[in-house]
Chain A
Amino acid sequence: MSTPKQAKAPTQRLKKESQSLTTFKKVLQNKGALLGMIIICIIIFCAIFAPWLSSYGYADIDVKNMFAKPSWEHPFGRDELGRDILSRVMYGGRFSLQIGFYATAIALVFGITLGSIVGYCGGNVDTVIMRIMDVIQAVPGMLLSISISAVLGTGMIEMAIALGVGNIAPFSRILRGSILTVRKSEYLDAARADNTGALRMITKHILPNSISPIIVQATLGCANVILIASSLSFIGVGIQPPNPEWGAMLSAGRAYIRDYPHMLIFPGMAIALTVLSLNLIGDGLRDALDPKLKK
């Protein structure tokens, strides 16, 4: 994180680029993270190109072939309305991935802003904002999301907001903690001696040196958001059933668990694989960025 190289201002740009490149290389060397990246790329590819990859629409009803077991034409089988589960799973990725991405983006923007203000200012600002964060974090994340989505409704953007809000507090807390460790660094004294303004100070000197824990947390947070989003859809307060969201599909399949378990296996596997791959990447990033683990 705070390598002495970065203190030299003129070469900073060059060094920074090479640092993120070395991090990326290190992550790729990690077998688990590499596997995670491959899986998530396949899932993203399937979600984007679902209309071209699948020969059936996600809403094509075929009443003659309800509950068909997996076969060559329909590798994942068909659901209670005879819809092809494979295409539904592929389209479903669009919901989960977008919700995960938007929610994490919202949490990052607000979390980084708040965290850097708090970390930079310290004092009363710190105390007040952190006490408010304490209150928000005192509500278990899932319950907070359910309450917010009760207000906003059940669209995709609405869910992303509901889930993103819950992540703002942990993100800003982590950034604050990491800023506190670099706050006494000499290069910040040097910048201050140069009469650097607060904004430039934060964006050019503090953030680049304290951002890595939050990158790890964002990856793991995104995985968690996808998990909670599917849970919300499953209990009926998230994306609503005709849409091929994974949690909503599982909720519909639950009624047929006794006779047609194939309806449960594949959407659940899709969720687990997505979350697993993000967790693998997050772990790899942590190992690559954590100076304590350097040998």
Chain B
Amino acid sequence: MWIYILKRLLWMIPIILGVTILIFTIMYFVPGDPTSTILGASATPAELAAKREELGLNDPYITRLLNYLKDVFLHFDFGKSYLTSRSISLELLSRFPRTILMCAACIGIAMLIGIPLGVNAAVHHGGAWDTASMVLALIGVSMPVFWVAMLLVLVFSLYLGWLPSVGYTSIQHYILPCIANSFSSLAMQARQTRSSMLEVIRSDYITTARAKGLSERRVVFGHALPNALIPVLTIAGSNFGKMLGGTVVIETIFSIPGIGSYMISGVTGRDYPVVQGSVIFLAIMFGLIMLLVDLLYAAVDPRIKSQYYRKRVKG
């Protein structure tokens, strides 16, 4: 068991390094001269050249990459914004809690509602409840996140006036963004739970459990659900990645100053160190969540545990 955890932890290092190199390389090919963004149109060619030298833009690719890696991993320094020349790391850290809390709340909503919906649909397989919740889930998966957000604003802030439509100062401000962002994940969670429950319910040990005379409740919650949870966890993990993408849109719509809206400000302002820093930061966050999911697997799935246990006995 510990070997598995250790292996998984060590595997994070090349992944994070790889992601940083990947994003750096993509951003390396961004066309245009950043110095004219920094100094404005009135700068003379000599000033531009001096700035290029100062930023190290004349260095070869590999030198720049190594410098960047060194800054990021040894000093946690993502460089400075071209436009505001403020430290990107500080900016990311100050925005980080909002984004991560929102994602956590969204995952919470998606799992708390999605899993029971899916279980219920699977238990009543083929019935009206099943059909209704799966039609709803399919529609939920198909609606773009920003459209859901705007419809929610339309109904709950403009027509009913219950909740604020923009801002980030109180808990009420986060209700609509969280619902909007968790909407499609919730639907996906319900679909995945249903299909993995259906697969499990057909298996022999469920028939055995029923034959033993266990109550339907015990069969579903004691035998079927724990075994069906593994694919459900995977979906929850990958949903987190989708949600990080979703926050980019949601934060822009609701004017929440999180990492997503920071990144978009970087894209529109051609402020590429900001984009680079935000993407790498979010990808690292995603990596850590996937790590957590894998460790949870090991805790939930006896097969992983026994695999390593057997190895140790043999070795």
Contact = CB atoms under 8 A, between A and B. Distances in A.
B170 interface: no
B142 A279 contact: yes
B302 interface: no
Interface residues of A, number: 45
B139 A276 contact: yes
A193 interface: no
Given A150-B30, A272-B147, A134 B142 contact: no
B27 interface: yes
A140 B151 contact: no
A280 to B, nearest CB: 7
A141 interface: yes
Nearest to A264: B150
Interface string A120-134: 000000000001101
Contacts of B283: 138-140, 143
Contacts of B15: 134-135, 138
B279 interface: yes
A140 B264 contact: no
B64 to A, nearest CB: 16
Contact of A143 (B29, B30, B151, B248): B248
Contacts of A135: 14-15, 18-19, 22
Q: Is the interface of A mostly helix, strand, loop or mixed?
A: helix
Q: Which of A139, A151, A234: most chain B Cβ within 10 A?
A: A139
Given A140-B283, A143-B282, A264-B150, A235 B139 contact: no
A258 B158 CA distance: 7
Interface residues of B, number: 49
B292 to A, nearest CB: 14
A292 B263 contact: no
A182 B15 CA distance: 30
A12 B256 CA distance: 59
Contacts, number: 140
Contacts of B141: 275, 279
Contacts of A153: 31
A147 B142 contact: no
B19 A138 contact: yes
Given A146-B275, A150-B267, A276-B142, A231 B249 contact: yes
Interface in B123-167: 138-139, 141-147, 150-151, 153-154, 158
A246 B248 CA distance: 18
Interface string B8-27: 00000011101100110011
B266 to A, nearest CB: 9
Nearest to B17: A135
Interface string B215-253: 000000000000000000000000001101110110011
Contacts of A146: 248, 263, 267, 275, 279
Q: Classify the interface of chain B: helix, strand, loop or mixed.
A: helix
A30 to B, nearest CB: 13
B14 A139 contact: no
A261 interface: yes
Contacts of A34: none
B252 A257 contact: no
Contact of B19 (A139, A148, A234, A268): A139
A178 interface: no
B138 A140 contact: no
Nearest to B22: A135
B150 A254 contact: yes
A268 B151 contact: yes
Given A151-B26, A227-B144, A264 B154 contact: yes
B286 interface: yes
A103 interface: no
B199 A264 contact: no
Nearest to B184: A227
Given A151-B27, A236-B268, A237-B267, A261 B154 contact: yes
11 contacts: A32-B138, A139-B23, A140-B241, A140-B282, A141-B245, A143-B248, A144-B279, A227-B144, A234-B144, A250-B150, A292-B199
Interface of B: 14-16, 18-19, 22-23, 26-27, 29-31, 138-139, 141-147, 150-151, 153-154, 158, 199, 241-242, 244-246, 248-249, 252-253, 263-264, 267-268, 272, 275-276, 279, 282-283, 286-287, 290
